[in-house]
Amino acid sequence: MAPCTNPIGTGAGASEPANGIDKPVDQAQLQADAATTLIGIGTPYHRDIIVRAQGTSIYTAAGHRMQDWTSGQMSCLLGHGNPEIVAVIAHHAATLDHLFSGMLSPPVVNLAKRLTGLAPPGLDRAMFLSTGGESNEFAIRIAKLCTGKFEVVGLSASWHGVTAGAIGAQYHSGRAGYGPMVPGNFALPAPNAYRSIFRHPDGSHDWRTELSYGFSLIDRQSCGSLAAVIVEPILSSGGMHPLPPGYLKALKEHCTARDMLLIIDEAQTAIGRAGDMFAFQHYPEDDGVVPDILTLSKTLGNGIALSAVLVSEAIALRAEQRGFMYYTTHMNDPLPAAVGDKVLEIVVRDGLVDRARRLGEVLHAGLQRLKTRYACIGDVRGRGLMAGVEIVTDRESKRPAGELGGEIGDRMAELGVWAQLSTHVSFAGVFRIAPPITITEEELEAGLEVMEEALRITPGTMPLYEVPV
């Protein structure tokens, strides 16, 4: 692949008004104000003030355009400012925005009907909330009530949110310093084909033994009250690791043996992002596996705060009989529900699931090509328009190279592509790539060229070819 000679950041759109309005933005003043008025979040804020987002691009106050390879917070599935989504928001902001939580509206019922119609049998009832963390909190709460048990199992590289129940079941980060977690939480070893110590004699990942060993430890620790397991089909915040083929079926068998419910968190993977409507449906080896509870968020709202929980008819009725109570200010709000309904309509109407699968092949082929050219790329993984690129000091030791990854990311941003590199020590050095699934093949190829140029000009990337002087 030839080096990029026309960086995206200096291409079309860079000469447009930086913020889409006449009034200029004083970036230095905004940054100074932010330093004295905003609460820190545990990781540094991005150095540039973003003043506009349109299509697959975001714009800084200086007018610099970057292709958005994270879809905002992995959420803008159909791109920023999608005209159909904008029209729905404008209409409902003017006519039907927010209601008393116990009231129903056409958008909520329509979304429930469309979503459960797309889901397989066994996911028959829906509830709509605001964030992914809230949907997982709801899922854990209903699982505890329906089973009459309280112990919850998560994967050791999981991310499910920062509310009490959700963070109790996540182990990627965010646990230290806040006192005791909700009692009754256990961790299974997260399947990591690149780094796991569980290996077959031929060196391949022995995830089945790893999973069984994890449950043997949980059985020793449990007080006999195992209620549910919660997992992501692709551990995005944990380093973009897909669950192995057959893993969900084996996990479901472990759950059945212990009378536990299976919760699948598809905050980032559902609605086509990973090349399937729901990522748990991908592998033939997992055919027939349907979670007892499914949670959705990010991709369903295209950047609007919307999440969903789907359960079986049996679980919905059992919860009702046992007096299940969940009441929040923005549950079943009509405006975000209308957005979610339009997102699903567009994805199905325009064949975007198949498109994401096809463009995912382009993305992964391009990233694998870069791996053959730069030894700092230790692993490329993911599925569909979700990819993880792990930057290492060398391929033998596989030591994470977070600082080098940061330098590559900085060069990419300067050249016109924003790709998020983890700053968490638990998987520092992994780029999480997830552009809108409306991205064109030409835009994708241009982004890959930018990434190659960033690798070429950054010292320490260990090129496997002679670098031109």
What span, in angstroms and rounded, lies between the C-alpha atoms of 3 and 317? 59
Contact of 239 with 388, CB cutoff 8 Å: yes
What's the pTM value of the predicted model, to 2 decimals?
A: 0.93
Name residue 57's beta-bridge partners: 54, 67
Q: In 287-416, which ranges are E strands? A: 293-296, 307-311, 377-383, 386-391
Give the pLDDT of residue 467.
59
Determine the Cα angle at 239 with ends 235 and 244, to 5°: 50
Sole residue written with tokens 């499910």: 160
Predicted confidence at residue 11, as pLDDT, reads: 40
- What does each C-alpha distance from 194 to 190, 240, 273 come to in angstroms? 11, 11, 23
pLDDT at 66: 97
Q: Which pairing describes strands 261-266 and 430-433: parallel, antiparallel, or unpaired? A: unpaired
Predicted local confidence at residue 423, as pLDDT: 65
Residue 343 pLDDT = 98
State the virtual CA torsion across 80, 84, 88, 89 in degrees, nearest 10: 20
Task: Give pLDDT tens digits along the chain (469 positions).
Answer: 343 334 554 443 334 444 444 478 899 999 999 999 999 988 888 889 999 999 999 999 999 999 999 999 999 999 999 999 999 999 999 999 999 999 999 999 999 999 999 999 999 999 999 999 999 999 999 999 999 999 999 999 999 998 888 888 888 888 888 898 899 999 999 999 999 999 999 999 999 999 999 999 999 999 999 999 999 999 998 899 999 999 999 999 999 999 999 999 999 999 999 999 999 999 999 999 999 999 999 999 999 999 999 999 999 999 999 999 999 999 999 999 999 999 999 999 999 999 999 999 999 999 999 999 999 999 999 999 999 999 999 999 999 999 999 999 999 999 999 998 876 666 678 999 999 999 999 999 999 999 999 999 999 999 998 755 5
CATH architecture of the domain 84-349 equals 3-Layer(aba) Sandwich (3.40)
Per-residue pLDDT at 465? 84
pLDDT value of position 16: 47
| Secondary structure (3-state) at 242 | strand
Which sequence positions are flagged as catalytic? 159, 232, 265, 268, 298, 432
| pLDDT given at position 302 | 98
Give me the residue label for tokens 């049998």.
121
Domains of the chain: which residue ranges? Answer: 8-76+352-457, 84-349
Residues paired with residue 188 on neighbouring β-strands, in sequence order:
155
pLDDT of residue 21: 47
Q: Cβ(376)–Cβ(461) under 8 Å?
A: yes
Helix/strand/coil percent split, the chain, to 5: 40, 15, 45
Residue 24 is predicted with a pLDDT of: 80
Topology (CATH level 3) of domain 8-76+352-457 = Aspartate Aminotransferase, domain 1 (3.90.1150)
Q: Are 234 and 268 in contact (CB under 8 A)?
A: yes
